[in-house]
Amino acid sequence: MKRLNDNQQYRETIILYKDQIKKQKKQSTSLIINQVLKACIELDDIKCGKDIHKNLSSYMLKNQFIENNLIRLYMKCGDYEKSKQIFLNSNNKTTPMFNNILNGLVDNNQCNEALNLFKDNNIPTNEYTFSILFKICSQINDKYSLKFGRKAFNQMPKNYHNSIVVITSALHMFTKCGDIYKAEQLFNEIKKKNLIVYGAMMNGYLENNMEQRAVDLFFQIEKPNEIILNIFFNACAQLKTKNALNLAKNVFDQLVVKSNDLLYSVLNMFIKCDDLENAQILFDRMKRDIIAYGSMMKLYNIKNQPLKTLELYEKLQEENFKPDKIILNLFFNACAQLKTKSALHLAKNVFDELIIKSNDLLYSVLNMFIKCDDLENAQLLFHRIDRDIIAYGSMMKFYNIKNQPLKTLELYQKLKEENLKPTEITFVLLIDACSEIGDLSLSESLIFQIPESFFIKSIYSKCID
């Protein structure tokens, strides 16, 4: 069974175990149980693992290696409470068992619980324990946890500084708390740096808005892997400079193997650097998904090319992609930019076919009706959405444009009834409506409702008028 597991033939291990149970009809040895539990963990065969657990004798349940594998098994299926129960009830708590429970809690997004467990136990630790602890503190990422992690780093055995795993984890923690000086100090102490160390340092620079340092560090790496290349292209995307764009192009052109994941990073970089030409070329040659379509549609909207956005909307449907909320928002925004009857008609058809209409989506459609000068549909939609002060402002502005100031005043009264707090923009629109009506007494009464803090230049000048 061990040989099968070593050769990653986990299913055969389980089959062999079941055959052995049928033939011998007696309890297996602890060695066999451990091997079959390892196979269950690797295959995510939680049901088989739980069945084995149920049939274990009380003697077997006290075996520290079996306890350790049961902790891993239940962590794998997300039942961290069961894992914790096994750990806390154990009379043979070991360092590997402690490490597994901490790591499992991290994998199940229970970092605060992991930190509390670390503090409440006096189980002997090793270098791996500290690497997990620094990971925990990085993921919690608050003042208290980072302070605790820093203290633990200063108190850990000095020989752990020779472990690249520990130092890399600590380096990541220090970049999280913004201590780049300490992170760089640790980075420079590592004599034989691997790609994981370089990646951690480059990511730390990105997280602390030091993109140029990440780019400079990249060129110190002899053979960057795909992860490092992704970080590099992301750094260039954040810099958004011509120099960064040119550097990225040169690196990209020299690559022999270009996976689709890498192409996505480069596409994002072209988009962020406002390089429409290269973004189009790359988009057409890559294996596209809905995210790539969304990125490209957004760029076309930014570049005031809404027709291109609509073309992509049609193309993604031809490729059997189902438009999500982001795609639909970009589509309606493109129609709003066009402001044509054909775009309005197309948007109405798409909107009418939608089954689920979130409030965010309804806002995009409302904006599209307003931009396309469709007062009737804008009114109908406005009354059915969950309105906020921005929606009120958009509709009030539209009524002012359409020379319907009384409607603007009605909306002002309505938003007060709904306990919404007017903004400076609301009052500017309100005063515009009053000036259109020419009712001085009404204007004066409304002006007295404006807080003194809102009397900025634009409002003040309108009040004088």
| pLDDT for position 25 | 62
- Cβ atoms 437, 406 nearer than 8 A: yes
Q: Indicate whether 295 and 381 sit together in one domain.
A: yes
449, pLDDT greater than 80:
no
Question: Which residues are within 8 A (CB) of 411 and not within 5 positions of it... i.e. 6 or more apart?
Answer: 392, 395, 396, 399
346 and 418 together in one domain = no
Determine, yes or no, domain membership for 374.
yes
- Mean pLDDT, rounded, for 59-69: 91
What are the start-end ranges of the H helices in 90-142?
A: 95-107, 111-120, 127-140
C-beta separation of 290 from 321 below 8 A: yes
Domain closes at, from 386, 413, 431: 386
Residue 3 lies in a domain: no
pLDDT digits (tens, 9 = 90+) for 65-121: 999 999 999 998 889 899 999 999 998 899 999 999 999 999 999 999 999 999 998
Is pLDDT at 461 greater than 80 in this prediction?
no
User: Which of 13-27, 60-74, 166-180, 319-333 is least confident?
Assistant: 13-27
Last residue of a domain, one of 386, 408, 437: 386
The model's pTM: 0.75
Strands (E), 200-245: none
The C-alpha atoms of residue 385 and residue 369 are separated, in whole angstroms, by 14
Instruction: Tell me whether residue 58 is in a domain.
Output: no
What's 28's DSSP letter? P
Alpha helices in 240-305 (DSSP H): 242-254, 260-272, 276-285, 290-302
Helix (H, G, I), strand (E, B) or coil at 322: coil
Residue 19: pLDDT band (50, 70, 90) is confident
Let me know if residue 365 belongs to a domain: yes
Question: Is the same domain home to 301 and 365?
Answer: yes
Same domain, 363 and 296: yes
Determine the pLDDT at residue 454.
58
Q: Are residues 372 and 326 in the same domain?
A: yes
Q: What is the mean pLDDT of the chain?
A: 90
Domain boundaries, position 449: 400-465
pLDDT at 288 over 80: yes
How far is the C-alpha of 38 from the C-alpha of 7, rounded, in Å? 13
232, amino acid identity: F
Q: Do both 411 and 368 map to the same domain?
A: no
Do 377 and 299 sit in the same domain of this protein? yes
Q: Does any domain span residue 262?
A: no
**Crossing angle for the helix pair 111-120 and 127-140, nearest 10 degrees?**
140
Q: What would the mean pLDDT of 424-442 be, rounded to a whole number?
A: 81
CATH code of residue 378: 1.25.40
Among residues 360, 386, 412, which one ends one of the domains? 386
Query: In which region does residue 137 sit, left (phi positive, over 0), alpha (psi from -120 to 50) or beta (all else)?
Result: alpha
Distance CA 108, CA 104 (A): 6
The pLDDT assigned to 464 comes to 45
**Local confidence band at 432 (pLDDT 50, 70, 90 cut-offs):** confident
Asked if 440 and 364 sit in the same domain, the reply is no
Q: Which residue has the higher pLDDT, 304 or 443?
A: 304
Task: Please tell me the total count of domains within the chain.
Answer: 2
Regarding whether 368 and 341 lie in a shared domain, the answer is: yes
Confidence bin at 440 (pLDDT 50/70/90): low
SS (H, E, C) 404-463: CHHHHHHHHHHHHHCCCCCCHHHHHHHHHHHHHHCCHHHHHHHHCCCCHHHCCHHHHHHH
Q: Answer whether residue 297 is part of any domain.
A: yes
> Per the domain annotation, does 310 fall within a domain?
yes
**What pLDDT is recorded for position 455?**
54
Please report whether residue 378 resides in a domain.
yes
212-228: average pLDDT: 95
